[in-house]
Amino acid sequence: RKEVEQDPGPFNVPEGATVAFNCTYSNSASQSFFWYRQDCRKEPKLLMSVYSSGNEDGRFTAQLNRASQYISLLIRDSKLSDSATYLCVVNKGSWGKLQFGAGTQVVVTP
């Protein structure tokens, strides 16, 4: 079983709609969590960190559920520019222990 698992998608979303997807992790000792965004054939870039109490950054909301060992990302009012692959990243405690999920592809359509 992979340490970090994501639904690969694609999630096809009409412009203006809301989309949400999860990422599950297997190691209960994981300490910090992030969402990265990767455009096609580009490098990943940090989208947002995920805090225990949940956090928002504009149209993006991230949640952490430690009991069920998953994090989620919700995108409201989707824009065409939100089309990308979203990578879940889990840190087990040191920089050598970052684990990346394979990504969830989101396609926003007009």
Smallest distance, Å, CB 107 to another protein? 17
93 binds another protein (CB under 8 A): no
The length of the chain, given as a count of residues? 110
Q: Does 95 bind another protein (CB under 8 A)?
A: yes
44 phi and psi angles, rounded to 5 deg:
-65, 150
Contact between 27 and another protein per CB under 8 A: no
Please list, in sequence order, all residues whose beta carbon lies within 8 angstroms of the beta carbon of residue 42, skipping any fewer than 6 positions away: none
Report how many residues bind another protein under the rule CB under 8 A: 22
Nearest to residue 107, comparing CAs of 74, 83, 79, 76? 83
Per-residue x/- marks for another protein, 53-92, CB under 8 A? ----------------------------------x-----
In DSSP terms, 48 is beta-bridged to 35
